[in-house]
Amino acid sequence: MEAYQGYFENGQFIPLGNFKIPDKKRVILTVLDEAPRFPAMNDLAAWDSFFSKIKAAEDESVPDFERIHLNREVDL
């Protein structure tokens, strides 16, 4: 017996992961009493927001930090 995780949305089972269940196999679907702890993988608005924020971050300037030399001795 094998178990696969997923969620149910708009009348369809959306699997988490890439697997194939062979045809004509007996299946038992268990509905849990908890909400999923992950964002919907097919939520295009969330992905668009994510990628637009990454694109905006690419244009940000990075401040210059003081250079340090880890191979020299320091008196404390």
Delimit the domains of the chain by residue range. 6-58
Listed residue (49, 66, 46, 65) closest to 57, CA to CA: 49
- Within the chain, strands assigned E span 6-9, 12-15
Q: How confident is the model over 21-71, as pLDDT tens digits?
A: 889 999 888 888 887 666 555 677 777 888 888 888 877 777 888 877 777
Read off the pTM. Answer: 0.38
Structure tokens at 67: 């250079």
